[in-house]
Amino acid sequence: MSRSTVSAALGGGRRWGLRSSALAVAAVSGLMAGLVLPGVPAAVASGGATPYTMLSVNVGSDPYGVAVDGATDTIYATNGGSGTVSVIGGATNAVTATINVGTNPFGVAVDETTDTIYAANEGSGTVSVIIPLR
E strands, the chain, are: 7-11, 13-17, 22-27, 53-58, 63-69, 74-79, 84-89, 94-100, 105-111, 116-121, 126-130
Domain that holds residue 28: 7-130
In a domain, residue 68? The reply is: yes
The count of structural domains within the chain is: 1
27: pLDDT confidence band, cut at 50, 70 and 90? very low
Q: What pLDDT was estimated at residue 36?
A: 37
State pTM to two decimals. Answer: 0.65
Average pLDDT (12-28) is 42
Q: What pLDDT was estimated at residue 38?
A: 42
In a domain, residue 63? The reply is: yes
In a domain, residue 1? The reply is: no
In a domain, residue 2? The reply is: no
**CATH no. for residue 18?**
2.130.10.10
Q: What is the mean pLDDT of the chain?
A: 73
50: pLDDT confidence band, cut at 50, 70 and 90? low
Give dist(CA 34, CA 80) in Å, integer.
27
Average pLDDT (109-133) is 94
